[in-house]
Amino acid sequence: MKKFILAIVLATSTLVGVSAQKAGYDPVNAPFGHGQDSINCRMNLSLMTTAAKAENYQDAVKTWTAVYNNCPASSKNIYIYGPRIFKALHAKETDATKKKEYLDKTMEIYDNRMKYYSDADAKGTILAFKAYDYQEMMGEDADPAVIYKMLGEAIEDMKSEMYPSDAYGHYMIASLRLFLQDQSKKEQYINDYFRIMDYMDKAKETATASNDAENANYIEAVKGSIENAFVNSGAGDCETLENFYAAKFEANKTDEEFLNQASGSLSNIGCTDSEFYFKLAESLHSLKPSANSAIGLANRSLKTKDYSEAMRYYEQAAELESDKNKSSDYMMTLAQILFSQRSYSQARQAAYEALKFNPNNGSAYILVAQMYASSAQGIFPESEKRGLVFAAAVDKLQKAKSVDPSVSSEANRLIGQYSNYYMVKEDAFMMGLKEGESVYVPGWIGENTTIRTK
């Protein structure tokens, strides 16, 4: 109740503050005022700016107040330095009444900034800065409902063009806090999550298209934090999400956007083996085949152990996916599944397909090396020659390191392990094999390697 009253007081003080300005003031045609008023305004602006830039906020208050009350449309600096002044005063103040006055004044400044400088700055951006300052000044006493309202209005004003982009994260923290305080707000939190994820996906696409890698990476980092919070919140467990979407399924089973959102969100938290997920994927695939729908159907095929069908859907998913790294990952997943089934030739084919999408995927070469090592016993009739298979495996590990330095540690570990199985030098000599020469490895491997001995 105390926080609710605070929100009302803030809103009331905002209304009072916005209406306060000098009688007869014309912000459009005479933003500095007329005659002596104009001279005074310019002088006070200069004094205020000088003091504020020097962070001499105590001295800046008087001149700032003069321009704020008498010529509020004369300079945006009034609204840039105003919050800094009152936040500094608030931080030093110990009297609760005075601290509240400084908070109220800061909130009022942002409302007047929207009134006088709405053409210069987006409403959503100003509201975000207002929310940040409210949160900073209130500290642990900040009401998540107040932050949620401010940032919700900000984000709906700018949607996928929200600046600053970390407003998405602060908004979802507020939404999460409200849900944790009141479990009846679970659906609100879930709806917020998917709406914000959609805005952020579009924001990242825009940044990427503009070659703004720094912003795209930052958005992705914020998005990852939101996803982690959602997964750990208790709102996003498989049963809850399935129930949430199942209730909407019949009314939206031909709605491509709904099906994509539902299958994508279930996939994000690992809920991909239920009949409902397969149902979503099948509906989506019949409307418009996509990577998400193909992966859903691939998972169903894996569940029924129809590996040839799973391979077909994974290949479709990789082709339909716009992100080539994800396409490579899809094929790697398939390769690992086939490897676990000891379908070595098909597994290697899938790993090589992964490399077509991402030639620098060193993990693909490591997986092929592991396949070779796993099949070493059955390639040559002479057990002494199995070291040649390990030599072929090391070829792949060397290749992995050359295309992807990030896998060097794992590749070196396996090279150290596999080198223990090289042919004994005396055995190689007796078989007419010489270290450093090329030799053909038969069977499903079917390629040359360099003879290595120990």
What single string gives the DSSP state of each residue in 13-41?
HHHHHHT---TT--TTT-TT-SHHHHHHH
| Distance from the Cα of residue 263 to its chain's centroid | 18
CA distances to 138, 221, 346, 375 from 78, rounded to whole Å, are 22, 34, 68, 74
Distance CA 174, CA 172 (A): 5
Q: In the block, which residue shows the tokens 């009401």?
A: 143
Other Cβ atoms closer than 10 A to 149: 16
Residue 69's alpha-carbon distances to 22, 44, 89, 273, 444, in angstroms, are: 6, 11, 19, 64, 84
**Rounded Cα gap, residues 189 and 373, in angstroms:** 49
Tokens for 141, please give them. Answer: 């006493």
Are 114 and 65 in contact, with CB atoms under 8 Å apart? Answer: no
- Closest to 103 measured CA to CA, from 200, 185, 14, 208: 14
- At residue 448, what are phi and psi to the nearest 5 degrees? -85, 155
Terminus-to-terminus CA distance in the chain, angstroms?
78
- Residue 22: its pLDDT value, please? 56
Question: What secondary structure does DSSP assign to 215-226, as a single string?
Answer: HHHHHHHHHHHH
- Predicted pLDDT of residue 70: 94
**Distance of alpha carbon 262 from the chain centroid:** 18
How high is the pLDDT of residue 9? 31
pTM score, whole prediction: 0.57
Residues 6+ apart with CB under 8 A from 110: 79, 83, 126, 127, 129, 130, 133
As given in the structure block, the two tokens for residue 171 are: 């908004």
Amino acid at 318: A
Q: Distance between CA atoms of 90 and 110, rounded to whole angstroms?
A: 16
Backbone angles phi, psi at 231, to 5 degrees: -60, -40
DSSP letter, residue 423: B
The predicted pLDDT at position 240 comes to: 81
Are 113 and 79 in contact, with CB atoms under 8 Å apart?
yes
Nearest to 14 by CA among 124, 146, 139, 138: 146
CA 331 – CA 378 distance, rounded (Å): 26
H helices of 269-306, in order, are 275-287, 291-303
- Which token pair is 59? 């001295």
What pLDDT score was predicted for residue 281?
84
Report d(CA 188, CA 179) in Å as an integer: 8
pLDDT in tens, the chain (454 residues): 333 333 333 333 332 333 345 566 777 777 888 889 899 999 999 999 999 999 999 999 999 999 999 999 999 999 999 999 999 999 999 999 999 999 999 999 999 999 999 888 999 999 999 999 999 999 999 999 999 999 999 999 999 999 999 999 999 999 999 999 999 999 899 999 989 988 998 999 999 999 999 999 999 999 989 988 987 888 878 888 888 889 889 988 998 878 887 887 788 778 888 889 888 888 888 888 888 788 888 888 888 888 888 888 999 999 999 899 999 999 999 999 899 889 999 999 999 999 999 999 999 999 999 999 999 988 988 888 989 999 999 999 999 999 999 999 999 999 999 999 999 988 888 898 989 999 999 999 999 999 999 8
CA separation for the pair 306, 302 (Å, rounded): 6
